[in-house]
Every structure is written in C-alpha cells, then in structure tokens.
Structure 1
C-alpha cells in the first residue's frame, strides 16, 4: 500500500499587484507524518525551498483566513477561487497565490490515505507510548 501522496501545482510568487512569477510547487504528504504537508518551491536559479506545515491549516485556509506565526493562508477572489499563502521567515515574506481546486484535490487524496481527524488512533498512541517507555527503560532513564 502506498504511504505517500504527491502532486504538483502552479503557484504565483506575488511581488506586487502588477508583478508575479509562475512557480511549479511539489506537494507531498507522508502517512508517517500524518499531520503535515510539504511544499517544495522550485525557484529559478536557486535550490528548491521546502516548507512543512499542518495539513489542517491548508484545509482551513481554503475557506477562511487562518494561521499564526510563519504561515498564514486565506481565500481570495471568491468562493473556492484562489488561495493566498503567506510565508514569513527571517529573510522576509513570500506571498504565493494558487488556484484552490488543485489544492482541494490534493487534500482529498491525503484524506483517502489518512482521514482527517483519524491520524492516530488510541491503540497507535498506546503503542508509541509503550515504545518510548521501553526505550527509556533500556537506557536506564
């Protein structure tokens, strides 16, 4: 069984209201890290840059403004038209605009792999806790 979902989306790096650049962005979701999505931006002349943030943040940002800290996402241009993703780093801010439907399709594929809200069951949490405790005991902690 496949444990990752991958996709590509075209986004626009918004420099100003008159200027933006097209970027191909790789999207990745790994069931081993079920709460996160990875966006890898391919910038002309630079090494790819990856950002990892909550899958739920992306889902919420498609329909309403959301986010705090380094990642903010909100809809623009009408219902399910576009999404603006604002990334803050020490080097500055990047504003990226994408059509909502490809992001929704990607999230739907992640949901088929690991349904939203079912990332870890009680049994899995118990198993992880038992594993952590057994490793600590083996080291004399």
Structure 2
C-alpha cells in the first residue's frame, strides 16, 4: 500500500534581481520509493511555464541541512541560522532556492514516521521491480 506525504513550503527564488521572489513548492515522500524525496514547483513558478519536479535522495536532504552536500544535479547546503539552500543544475541553467530549515526538518520527521532511516530496504518491492524490468525486454 502506498503511503505518500506532502508538505507545502515557500521557497525563496534567488535571481539576478535584488529581491528574492517567494514561490510555492511541495515536498513529497512516497513509501514506495523510500530512498527519494521530490520537490514540485508549479508552472507559474518556473521559467518554462510548466510544472517542474526534482527527485533526489532523502539522505542528501538530511545531510545538506547540516553541511554542504551533493555534487550532481541537486546540491544542498545550510545558509545562515534558519535557511537551507537547494541548487538544481540542468543544461538550461541553475535554479537556487532558499527554504526554511525548520520546514525541511518537519518534512523529514514526517518521512521518518513513514519509513525510518536505515530501514528503506524493507519497503522495496524487488520482485515487482524485477518483473517491470523484464517486462520491458520482451
């Protein structure tokens, strides 16, 4: 059975203009994909005018609250006393947002209630994943 939690946050979009614009975002955690979290930005908040989702490791978010983490498309680092920076790297450019660290901690605590850290492997359906891979080879 799928258990999904969603957590709405306000992200501050860092841009070349002196004022940081606040944009809505939704953090999502799904027990069926226990190692990942997703952040969704609605179409009005994106340059493309389309909904944008980024999936990345839950552990990256956990680590990034405390210290700079990530070397790929998503990077996370603390910023001051109460903010965390999330950087999203794509061929089109880099998006940088600030999110209140307290909101990220609250989201991660809820995710921990769904799947405790270190227990993610117990929630994987390896038989179903293997069947899906084999189905694509036929």
TM bucket, shorter chain: 0.7 to 0.9
Secondary structure class of the residue paired with 1:101 = helix
Structure 1 runs (4+) greater than 6 angstroms displaced: none
Whether 2:70 is the aligned partner of 1:63: answer no
| Unaligned runs of at least 5 residues, structure 1 | none
Rg (Cα) greater in structure = 1
Alignment of 1:63-102 (within 5 A): 63-78=66-81, 81-102=82-103
Aligned to 1:128: 126
Measured in 2, the distance between the counterparts of 1:107 and 1:56 equals 10
| Larger mean Cα displacement after TM superposition, 8-17 or 96-105 | 8-17
Q: How far 1:3 sits from its partner (Å)?
A: 0.8
Measured in 1, the distance between the counterparts of 2:9 and 2:35 equals 20
Deviation per CA, 1:39-89: give whole Å up to 9, x if none: 0012427121100000110111011110011111000113xx100011100
| Unaligned runs of at least 5 residues, structure 2 | none
Q: TM-score, normalised by structure 2?
A: 0.84
Q: TM-score, normalised by structure 1?
A: 0.82
Give aligned pairs, total: 132
Measured in 2, the distance between the counterparts of 1:116 and 1:104 equals 14
Deviation per CA, 1:114-133: give whole Å up to 9, x if none: 00110013xx77x7269848
